[in-house]
């Protein structure tokens, strides 16, 4: 541990330096923060993921710590409609009284919780515990449902386990062929691009599948540019080529998999010419891609949001997993299939209880054994835990309706900008009896809240994150939060202290069933600062080290087993890979080398057929819209739009269209465009570029207001993952008369 890291965990001291990680994407680049007294400096750290590199977002990450728009006092909605400053006691009283009234009138599920993929493992765990024990509600989900849920579902049904990369990131640079499907890491996680450069410098081949000529596609040896929504057909055609050319690894298929025959029959009908007619990808490119994957020693297939954010995202990812299995890639050192996780803790955030159907350790909430184990750790009866809730979009769309929740607590998310069919969701949020948002800036969602709670930033709290490789990392605090600001863990512990648990409220006459102790209290309580402590671990329930200790117990024996991961062990190495069940035993940087996480150890092929997008073009809406990110902005833009350097680099939303389409619509660069779908419209300046297909327009989703791309996107859901179809919908584009 560095001196800075020691200072960061020593009470009463203000460290001058802390070794930590970037607050943005799942690459979780290592960095060092230094407080010089006048400003906070950022410098990169030679960490295995970023190898001393940072992108512009990382370099400027500390600019928000003392931003003039930072929230430093709670805000309450006044009768006149404006948000006014208030004390913490007043804010807690407002929340507690309204929650009691709502649950007494409508039941426990009338209060919902919405989390985020940027929360630390400790906060994600505590939020799930708070929802299920203190509130007693089944209604909890998080914005990670919009990120990687389709790849997670495909991984679970193929391998029995979901970990974004089941091998170290360094394998990418050593591959002979790398196929990136719907991924643009050169802009979304730029330090990863050095692995792509390393691969090419070694003579390897990079192939990119994307409807746009992105910065990553420009690095590629071969770029497949399919019509949005046709990736599944491309994958089946690649498998068809592998079959007809005799490239299937039949020994691997026989020894390590099940279900190939059903997949083979489907692939037999996807001859490349058929896929070309549907997707626009030339037969020669399909054949070259299959050859490049099948005729080398080490090949890797990676999917990302472009393949996953569809109403058939799980099947699309499964088709590429099928291809990887047929070629014998998963579990073979130097080869494999993986998914590029997006959000900073998108992996850990869903492992420990934020997701509607999961308990800590990636356990299923409807599994009796899982319920018994976690209930014992939490000091409640298994029957007192609520059942599975609904997915993120379904939860948001039910808010304020007669049968839906009447209150929502939001931690680390901005659904007014990030949810599909966003105008509808904004209306749902406004219809609530109580909306509480914990954030450090006034996001678009916080701006319409009844209560806003100012919370600490990433450099002001300790904790752990789990990056895209499944590597558990340590986030170390540089300083204490400003006066008036509290950590999310402190907020949850405080609310648990003023909110008796659902069972205790029921005993006083409310509708909730009898149950166990409040969050941070229980039969094993031995004191604490907020009216009690954890059922198992004594001490302050807002102490992240103690929360992590309980997380380890709760995850023990589960698929995502953190029982052997300790802060000390993380500090002694460059992180610890889960599963790691034994403190003295090895961790798992490389998975599936001997067996998969299925009952019989064999991977499962999934027979999947291409089907059209949920919404196809027509005379009224003749163009496809696809959405994505730009280099200088991140997610809903709440943070990055407030950083001056990033705002200069990407100051406003835009609509990208091909020169042929621009000529047809009589559009010049910078003209204001209106993009309309069946759900709403966005307005933004035109950006004319040959990087996009002539039948498709592109809009980034980082902005709210008139340029909000998600006003237009489709809320059709994947039947398995419940992922919305962000990546394709039918629109019309018009020039707005000035």
Distant-in-sequence, close-in-space partners of 38: CB < 8 Å, separation ≥ 6:
none
Q: What is the pLDDT of residue 738?
A: 67
Q: What is the pLDDT of residue 377?
A: 96
Query: Three-state SS for 582?
Result: coil
Assigned token pair, 624: 């496809």
Contact 134, 501 (CB under 8 A): yes
Q: Provide the 10 A C-beta neighbour count for residue 498.
A: 17
Separation CA 730–CA 738 (nearest Å): 25
Residue of 432, 405, 409 lying closest to 495 (CA atoms): 409
Under 8 Å between Cβ of 525 and 536: no
Q: What pLDDT score was predicted for residue 512?
A: 39
Which tokens sit at 23? 């607050």
Q: 581-608 pLDDT, tens per residue?
A: 999 999 999 999 999 999 999 999 999 9
- Taking only the tens place, the pLDDT of each residue in 341-399 is 889 899 998 899 999 999 999 999 999 999 999 999 999 999 999 999 999 999 999 99
Domains of the chain: 3-64 (2.20.25.90), 75-146+348-577 (3.40.50.740), 149-340 (3.40.228.10), 623-735 (2.40.40.20)
Nearest to 342 by CA among 718, 6, 636: 636
Dist. CA 152–CA 350, nearest whole Å: 10
Q: On the CB side of 14, how many CA atoms lie within 13 Å of its CA? A: 9
- Confidence at 502, pLDDT banded by 50, 70, 90: low
| Residue 385 contacts residue 372 (beta carbons within 8 Å) | no
**514 pLDDT tier (thresholds 50, 70, 90):** very low
**For 13-58, what is each residue's pLDDT tens digit?**
455 899 999 999 999 999 999 998 878 999 999 999 999 999 999 9
What lies within 8 Å, CB to CB, of 423 at 6+ separation is 679, 680, 708, 711
DSSP 3-state assignment of 347? helix
Say whether pLDDT at 1 is over 90: no
Own/partner pairs, 647-650, CB within 8 angstroms, 24+ separation: 649/56, 650/700, 650/702
> In which residue are the tokens 């219809």 written?
431
3-state secondary structure of 208: strand
Using DSSP, state whether 233 is helix, strand or coil: helix
Specify the pTM: 0.93
Token reading at 49? 């993921």
Query: Of 730, 704, 726, which Cα lies nearest the Cα of 716?
Result: 726
């Amino acid at each position: 541990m560095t001196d800075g890291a020691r200072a960061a965990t020593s009470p009463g001291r203000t460290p001058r330096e802390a070794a930590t990680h970037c607050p943005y994407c799942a690459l979780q680049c290592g960095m060092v923060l230094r407080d010089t007294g006048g400003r906070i400096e950022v410098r990169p750290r030679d960490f295995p993921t970023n190898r001393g590199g940072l992108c512009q977002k990382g370099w400027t990450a500390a600019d928000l710590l003392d931003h003039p728009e930072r929230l430093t006092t709670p805000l309450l909605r006044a009768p006149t409609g404006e948000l006014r400053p208030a004390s913490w006691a007043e804010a807690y009283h407002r929340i507690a009284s309204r929650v009691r009234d709502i649950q007494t009138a409508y039941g426990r599920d009338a209060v919902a919780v919405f989390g985020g993929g940027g929360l630390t493992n400790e906060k994600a765990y505590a939020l799930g515990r708070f929802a299920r024990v203190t509130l007693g509600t089944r209604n909890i989900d998080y914005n990670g449902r919009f990120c990687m849920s389709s790849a997670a579902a495909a991984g679970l049904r193929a391998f029995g386990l979901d970990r974004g990369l089941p091998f170290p990131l360094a394998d990418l640079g050593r591959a002979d062929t790398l196929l990136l499907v719907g991924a643009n890491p050169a802009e979304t996680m730029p330090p990863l691009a050095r692995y792509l450069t390393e691969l090419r410098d070694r003579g390897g081949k990079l192939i990119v599948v994307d409807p746009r000529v992105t910065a990553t596609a420009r690095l590629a040896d071969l770029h497949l540019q399919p019509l949005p929504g046709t990736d599944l057909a491309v994958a089946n055609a690649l498998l068809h080529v592998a079959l007809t050319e005799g490239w299937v690894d039949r020994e691997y298929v026989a020894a390590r998999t099940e279900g190939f025959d059903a997949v083979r029959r489907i692939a037999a009908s996807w001859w490349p010419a058929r896929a070309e007619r549907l997707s626009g990808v030339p037969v020669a490119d399909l054949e070259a891609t299959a050859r490049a994957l099948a005729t080398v020693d080490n090949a890797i297939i990676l999917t990302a949001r472009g393949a996953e954010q569809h109403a058939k995202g799980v099947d699309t990812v499964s088709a590429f997993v099928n291809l990887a299995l047929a070629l014998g890639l998963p579990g073979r050192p130097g080869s494999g299939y993986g998914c590029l996780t997006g959000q900073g803790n998108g992996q850990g955030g869903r492992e420990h209880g934020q997701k509607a159907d999961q308990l800590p350790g990636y356990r299923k909430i409807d599994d009796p054994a899982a319920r018994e184990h976690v209930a014992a750790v939490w000091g409640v009866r298994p029957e007192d835990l609520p059942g599975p809730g609904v997915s993120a979009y379904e939860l948001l769309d039910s808010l304020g309706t007669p049968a839906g929740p009447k209150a929502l607590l939001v931690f680390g998310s901005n659904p007014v900008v990030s949810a599909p069919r966003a105008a509808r969701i904004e209306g749902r949020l406004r219809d609530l009896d109580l909306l509480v948002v914990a954030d450090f800036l006034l996001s678009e969602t916080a701006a319409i809240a009844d209560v806003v709670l100012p919370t600490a930033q990433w450099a002001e709290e300790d904790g752990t994150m789990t990056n895209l490789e499944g590597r558990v990392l340590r986030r170390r605090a540089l300083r204490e939060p400003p006066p008036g600001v509290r950590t999310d863990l402190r907020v949850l512990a405080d609310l648990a202290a003023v909110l008796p648990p659902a069972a205790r409220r029921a005993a006083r006459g409310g509708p909730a069933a009898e149950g166990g102790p409040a969050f941070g209290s229980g039969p094993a309580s031995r004191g604490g600062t907020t009216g009690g402590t954890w059922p198992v671990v004594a001490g302050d329930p807002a102490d992240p080290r103690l929360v992590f200790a309980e997380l380890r117990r709760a995850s023990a024996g589960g698929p995502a087993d953190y029982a052997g991961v300790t802060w000390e062990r993380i500090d002694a190495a460059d992180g610890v890979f889960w599963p790691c069940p034994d403190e003295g035993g090895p961790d798992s940087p490389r998975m599936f080398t001997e067996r998969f996480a299925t009952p019989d150890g064999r991977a499962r092929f999934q027979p999947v057929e291409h089907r059209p997008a949920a919404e196809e073009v027509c005379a009224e809406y003749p163009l496809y819209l696809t959405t994505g990110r730009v280099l200088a902005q991140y997610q809903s833009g709440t943070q990055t739009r407030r950083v001056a350097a990033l705002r200069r680099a990407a100051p406003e939303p835009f609509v990208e269209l091909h020169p042929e389409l621009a000529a047809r619509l009589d559009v010049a660069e910078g003209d204001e465009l209106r993009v309309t779908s069946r759900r709403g419209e966005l307005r933004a300046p035109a950006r004319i570029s040959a990087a996009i297909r002539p039948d498709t327009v592109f809009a980034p989703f980082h902005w709210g207001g008139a340029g909000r791309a998600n006003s237009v996107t489709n809320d059709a859901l994947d039947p398995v993952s419940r992922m919305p179809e962000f990546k394709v919908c039918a629109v019309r584009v018009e020039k707005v008369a000035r």
